[in-house]
Every structure is written in C-alpha cells, then in structure tokens.
Structure 1
Amino acid sequence: MGFHTYDVDRADALEDESRYRYCSREELLAALRPHAEMTVADLGSGTGFYTDDVAPHVGHLYAVDVQEAMHDIYREKGLPKSVETVVADVVSLPFDDDALDAAFSTNTYHEFASAESLAELARVLRPGGRLVVVDWSATGEGGDGPPTDERYSLGDAVSALEDAGFTVDRAESRPETFLFVASR
C-alpha cells in the first residue's frame, strides 16, 4: 500500500463506533447494494469494523489487509461465517479475473491509490462490478486520519479511476472525507 499502514498498536481505535460519523453502516450498504449471492472484498479491512457490517448481506466477503496482525485481532474478535481473511496488497490481489462483484474501502484508499492498484481492481472486478470508497480528503482539516499531504482530492481520485477504465457513478465531497461509487 501507499504511504503507510495503520499502526497495529492502535488497532483498538478501529473498533470505535464514532467512525460512523465519516461513513455510516447504512450509507455503506446503500452504496454497495449487497445481496446474498455477491462476492465482495473489503480493501484494507483492518480489524473488520466495516467488514462485519457487510458480511451478513453477501455470500462471500474477503477481508483484505497487508498486515496479518490485523487479521489476528479480527479472528480473536470472531469472524462471521461468510468472511475469509486475505493478506495481500491491492496491487497484487490473489483473485481470478472478474472474481468480485464488488469491492469497498473505508479510509484506506490513500494507502493503495496507484495506477497499478486501480488496474488490479479493474482486473478482479467483473464487468459492471461496483467499487465504493470513502476516504480522507486532501481538502480536510486533518484533525483525524492521515496528514493532509498523504490524502487525495476527490477530483484526483475520480481522474485516476477514469484513467483505469472505471465509470464514476457518484462522487461527493464532505468536510473531512469524500465518497465515490464507480463501476467497471
């Protein structure tokens, strides 16, 4: 992933429900449009905070993170039956072409945003597959999340997605974050 990964020693903070002020469970589910036959990947799943919100609504959910230690914490918490942990960087996902119906990332896009990673997502998402991202905005104040110089603007993120062959269906700026929904 990009500039840094989240410090495992601070993993307890990933379970703080105040995170919903940046992306609520309901907003994520509405953007993702899950159903029982879907195969989905949570990119940068950490301890499974948002993974747990999506898991009951899909057939199979890959919790993808570069840190095995995050998966260890998630397993201690208890994995839902539909969840499989995967240690991988988004630039090199261990999935077949067109294997995923959807993927989502909550506050981790800045860690993997590169042309190579977006090309890899285009490879593993089936035609028409959805990509939902909420991330820290470069225009935010920087009180929470990574330093602002490690963040992307919504415009830069949308341009990168379009360059990778995605169609951006929805793009919104917020005070500290942005959200986009794209399809392949």
Structure 2
Amino acid sequence: MGYHTFDASRADKLEEAGRRYRFVSAEELLWALSISPEATVADLGSGTGFFTDDVAPHAGEIYAVDLQEEMHEYYREKGVPENVDLVTSDVSDLPFDDGGVDAAFSTMTYHEFASEEALAEIRRVLAPNGRLVIVDWSGTGSGDDGPPVDERYSADEATDALRDVGFAIQHEAVRPETFLVVATLE
C-alpha cells in the first residue's frame, strides 16, 4: 500500500484547476490551515506548486517540498513566488529545525509518503500547537480518479497513524474519493 509517486512527465495535469479544485478548494485548504500572515508553512509533496501558490499570499514563508527535482524545475518555469523556497527532500528526512514550521499540508500526496518515520519527522519540525492538513485520495474511493485504490489509505488509517505519533485530530471529513484531516500536536 502507498508509495505511489506521481509521474513528473505528466506534471501539466497537476495544473488543471477545474480538476484540482474539484477535490479541495483553495478556500477550504486555507480554512483548514488557519495560518497567520507570518507563518512558516511546508507543502509536503508540492509538485508543480499548484496549491503552494494558493497558500503563498497568506503566509510569511513556504517550503515547497518535493522528492522530484523535475517538479521543482516545472515550478521554476511557471514562476515561484518570492516567499517560496523549493526543497528537494523526502518527507521522512526534512531539512528543517525542530519546531521550525508552524503548519504543514499535503494535497493528494499522503499516500506517497505515509509511514511512521515520515509522520514522526513532520511532528519534529512542527512548532508547538503546529497544524497538519492532509487531503488525500481515500482507500474507500472508487479509483476513478487518482492512484489505484490499493495504493491509498482510508481516513481512519490516516487518523490512527497520526494519533500514534502524537497528533490530535481536530477535523475529519470523508468524501466519495478523498478525505480531509486536520491534526495538531498534542
């Protein structure tokens, strides 16, 4: 289960607003993050920066974290906002100080990095009362969109994994193809 990485040669698909916003809107993501204008935020699995661009005007600094340098190259060509730093890294080994990130989010990438090590690393870099927002393809979905169902997690699996590493679940919403989880450090 999990560890499906999006094919960077298909990056143009990640810029299709109608498709992307169908599963989570910019407004819903910003509501879930609930950040201040000075916040330091990490977009985990940022890809082409589609959702990073939505959050950037509302944050002080954003780390666009992606494992694939090809995604950062695409983002550079598109144009990176001044307050966004591109970081090529695995989520299980983030190059940030302990407590150095106020909020983190993952849009349709949790299934790519879900592991106890990655969640513990996110916990390490989040500040006290830090917030983590996950929107991902649901293991209970049909599989008509997104990765194959056998590479996905259910909202229950995600919330259990988050609790296991010390997060408290503040909000959970399950939709036909996706789920949204808002978690904070306990």
TM (normalized to structure 2)? 0.97
Distance, in Å, in 2 between the alignment partners of 1:103 and 1:153 is: 20
Partner of 2:7: 7
Whether 1:129 aligns to 2:130 is yes
Partners of 2:119 and 2:64 in 1: CA distance: 18
Aligned partner of 2:143 in structure 1 is 142
SS in 2 for 1:21: helix
Say if 1:34 and 1:54, in contact at 8 Å, map to a contact too: no
Instruction: Tell me, in whole angstroms, the C-alpha distance in 1 between the residues paired with 2:37 and 2:139.
Output: 35
Count residues with an aligned counterpart: 183
Aligned residue for 1:144, secondary structure, equals: coil
SS of aligned partner of 1:94: coil
Q: CA RMSD in A?
A: 0.7
CA distance in 2, matches of 1:153, 1:132: 15
Corresponding residue SS for 1:42: strand
Give, in angstroms, the shift of residue 4 of structure 1. Answer: 2.5
**Long gaps (5+) in structure 2:** none
Answer whether contact 1:106 1:133 (CA < 8 A) is retained. yes
Structure 2 match to 1:81? 82
- Structure 2 CA distance, aligned partners of 1:6 and 1:151? 13
Matched ranges for 1:11-90 at <5 A? 11-17=11-17, 18-90=19-91
Q: TM-score, normalised by structure 1?
A: 0.98
Once the two structures are superposed, residues 92-150 of structure 1 have per-residue CA deviations (whole angstroms, 9 ceiling, x without a partner) of 00001000000000000000110000000110001100000100000000011000000
**SS in structure 1 at match of 2:63:** strand
Question: Which letter does structure 2 place at the counterpart of 1:153?
Answer: S
Cα offset, 1:35, TM superposition: 1.8
The 5-angstrom pairing of residues 112-123 of structure 1 reads 112-123=113-124
| Contact residue 91 and residue 117 of structure 1 kept, 8 A | yes
Question: Hey, what's the Cα distance between the residues in 2 that align with 1:175 and 1:124?
Answer: 32
> Which stretches of structure 1, 4 residues or longer, exceed 4 Å deviation after superposition?
none
Q: Name the aligned partner's letter for residue 123 of structure 1.
A: R
Separation in 1, partners of 2:109, 2:24: 13
